[in-house]
């Protein structure tokens, strides 16, 4: 099972990202890892994710990073443009991992969806 077009976006020490990478590696999937901490969030990729899955799916309001944000900033996030800006400024508020294969965006740990796109 190989596909060089699979990209996993996230943070290396995130448990969900670790689970995804182990799952993919165990199945022989060929993927590229994009580290938000070192490489940032590609704005054009973020725009594609927002268009496909929506800001409500992509924004992790349960995580530590979100909870540490100023309440006024949290309150200002009420649509895709405002969520986009917070995600660009604070990459850790993006729900992880974000897996992109053949144009399909899968957010979070979802082995069934990964299997369906990997074939």
Which residues are catalytic, by number?
14
Chain-centroid distance, C-alpha 22 = 16
Q: Which residue has the tokens 């990729």?
A: 45
Calculate Rg over the CA atoms of the chain.
Answer: 14
* CA separation for the pair 86, 107 (Å, rounded): 17
Residue 117 contacts residue 104 (beta carbons within 8 Å): yes
Q: Cα(54)–Cα(47) distance, rounded to whole angstroms?
A: 10
Could you give the CA distance from residue 36 to residue 110 in angstroms, rounded to a whole number?
A: 20
């Amino acid at each position: 099972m190989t596909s060089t077009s699979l990209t996993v976006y996230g943070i290396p020490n995130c448990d969900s990202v670790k689970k995804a990478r182990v799952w993919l590696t165990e199945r022989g999937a060929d993927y590229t890892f994009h580290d938000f901490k070192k490489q940032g969030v590609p704005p054009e990729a973020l725009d594609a994710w927002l268009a496909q899955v929506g800001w409500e799916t992509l924004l992790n309001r349960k995580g530590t990073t979100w909870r540490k944000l100023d309440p006024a900033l949290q309150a200002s996030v009420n649509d895709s443009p405002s969520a986009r800006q917070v995600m660009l400024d604070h990459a850790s508020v993006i729900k992880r991992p974000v897996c992109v294969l053949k144009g399909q965006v899968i957010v979070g740990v979802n082995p069934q969806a990964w299997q369906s796109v990997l074939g």
